[in-house]
Amino acid sequence: MTTGSVNNADEAVPTSGVTIALAKFVRETKWDDLPDEIQHESIRACVNWLGCAIHGSRRPAVSAALAGLASANGAGNVRAIGQSETMPPASAALINCLSSAIDGFDDTHLATITHPTGPVASGLLALSDARNPMSGRDFLTALAVGIEIELRLSVALGSSARLHPGWWMTGLSGAAGTAAACSRRLGATTEETAWSLGLASMQASGFRVAHGTDASPLVPALASRNGLTSAFMARAGYQSGSRVIEGRFGLLDVLAPDVDPELLLASLGAEWTFSEISYKPYPGAIVAHPAVDAALRLASLPGFETRDLVELTVRVHPAAARLASIRLPQTPREALNSAGHMVAAALVNRRAGLEMLDASLLDRSDIRAIEEIFQLEADDALDRDQALLVAQLVDGRVEKVEVEHCYGGIANPMSDDSLSEKFLAQTRSLGSRAQGLLERAWSLPNSENVDFLVEETVARGSTR
């Protein structure tokens, strides 16, 4: 791995500015500087991301991406999670993240609807190989600071009244978070780290029109690839200036001109936005999860039968009504962004999990019948983790179900044991290796080399 740089010291680094301050935070933060809860959260985030990536690594869209990247970029010496082929690091970053996002089961910062771990962890893991191993603590420290940069950018952008809702937040902030983590891994100077943040921010992108298509999980995957590439280029001396984030006509000025860039530095290192991420107990759009919780509670009522439904309305936060509104989905990808489908599947199956990814559910007449009477309504009085379900039954009864805090949110989080159960459900293809991999993932701070995160997911007998 080439990590050469034309800048080996920080003497000429500007001493002020938001991007420079963020770069110093990236370089100077150590494992022991992380609060205990952030150390543990970094492990939880890694366990959740790894399970999602393993399960998603065999999806047809991932195979298509592999073939396309091989044609475009040629061979390399890095492998991605679950893949026997070798590829360049940038391609591995993209495939790792695409795999973790493809099932809509990845983690979320609900306040900004950012999926933070996928881009950062995917790019970072692509920088570890047998010739240049990375310890578990180094990996987790870089992951934590990268996610913190990513989420602080998301919060700043999301606090703007002028940011168009069609922007995909992970596409706007994920590359910078990945660049931060990868720059740390490459031993970049403060100035080079600032350049990498600038180069990554120049590639902010992603539109929510992609919902319901294979372009949807590509948004965070591109962020991972772009962030890693930015770190390599900056480390080699490619400059961007040190004010791309906060400067005139920079990222914030263009997308969120009403936001003070200093918001990015508020209590930096003392308070961690990373602590606000949540993990999905069900696949699909997290904004629809309160509605799924409500459906599961309705299904558990004594004597309830789906055939008795006459009308079904769920009121949710406006973001959920906007982002999970696909009606009568025709493809599994559309179903992941359809609150109506997710609710109907939960009611019929009386559970919600990996089975919600089953394409055969789209052909079920009992599920389609519920989708046809389902109504999704926006309610400004509800928070993003709340829902109110109202069901009218054939005998005239009306059942109401209120969800105060959906399962998986920060007010009602998944436990470590629940994350382990989710991981094992996603990694059945590994057979007996899954339990051992899970135990090693939970013990990452004690690992001298994180390569096992890839090697234990590749089919036995394949060679690098």
- Model confidence pLDDT, tens digit, residues 324-365: 999 999 999 899 999 999 999 999 999 998 888 888 999 999
Enclosing H/E stretch for 333: helix 332-335
Q: Which of 403, 418, 446 is the last residue of a domain?
A: 403
pLDDT at 212: 86
Q: With contact defined as beta carbons under 8 Å apart, do 303 and 130 qualify?
A: no
- 283-309 mean pLDDT: 95
Higher pLDDT among residues 265 and 10, named by residue: 265
329 and 356 together in one domain: yes
Domain assignment present for 106: yes
38 and 156 together in one domain: yes
Count of domains forming the chain: 2
Domain assignment present for 170: yes
Domain assignment present for 394: yes
For residue 26, give Cα distances in angstroms to 119, 180, 183, 202, 269.
Answer: 16, 6, 8, 19, 10
Domain assignment present for 423: no
Domain assignment present for 452: no
166-212 tens-digit pLDDT: 999 999 999 999 999 999 999 999 999 999 999 999 999 999 999 88
- 59-86 mean pLDDT: 93
Listed in sequence order, the residues at least 6 apart from 188 whose beta carbon sits closer than 8 Å to its beta carbon are 5, 27, 196, 231, 234, 235
132 and 254 together in one domain: yes
Enclosing H/E stretch for 117: helix 117-125
Q: Which of 167, 169, 163, 165 is nearest to 151 (CA)?
A: 169
- 149-154 mean pLDDT: 98
174 and 45 together in one domain: yes
User: Which two tokens mark 428?
Assistant: 């059945």
Average model confidence (pLDDT) across the chain: 93
Range of the domain at 73: 18-276
CATH number for the domain spanning 265: value is 1.10.4100.10
118 and 256 together in one domain: yes
199 and 120 together in one domain: yes
111 and 171 together in one domain: yes
Q: Is the pLDDT of residue 128 over 90?
A: no
Provide the 8-state DSSP code for 106.
Answer: S
Higher pLDDT among residues 57 and 4, named by residue: 57
For residue 289, give Cα distances in angstroms to 316, 321, 353.
Answer: 10, 12, 11
52 and 119 together in one domain: yes
pTM over 0.85: yes
User: Which two tokens mark 247?
Assistant: 């400067």
Q: Which of 373, 403, 433 is the last residue of a domain?
A: 403
71 and 112 together in one domain: yes
387-442 tens-digit pLDDT: 999 999 999 999 999 999 999 999 999 999 999 999 999 999 999 999 999 999 99
Domain assignment present for 270: yes
Q: Is the pLDDT of residue 13 over 90?
A: no
Higher pLDDT among residues 433 and 460, named by residue: 433
Q: Which of 403, 430, 457 is the last residue of a domain?
A: 403
Angstrom distance (rounded) from CA 414 to CA 449: 28
109 and 235 together in one domain: yes
312 and 248 together in one domain: no
Domain assignment present for 139: yes
pLDDT above 70 coverage of the chain, percent: 95
pLDDT at 2: 41
Angstrom distance (rounded) from CA 353 to CA 360: 15
Question: Which CB contacts under 8 angstroms, 24+ apart, belong to 428-432?
Answer: 429/54, 429/55, 429/58, 430/54, 430/456, 430/457
Provide the 8-state DSSP code for 459.
Answer: P
Q: Is 389 helix (H, G, I), strand (E, B) or coil?
A: strand
34-56 tens-digit pLDDT: 999 999 999 999 999 999 999 99
Q: Is the pLDDT of residue 9 over 60?
A: no
Domain assignment present for 435: no
CATH number for the domain spanning 299: value is 3.30.1330.120
302 and 200 together in one domain: no
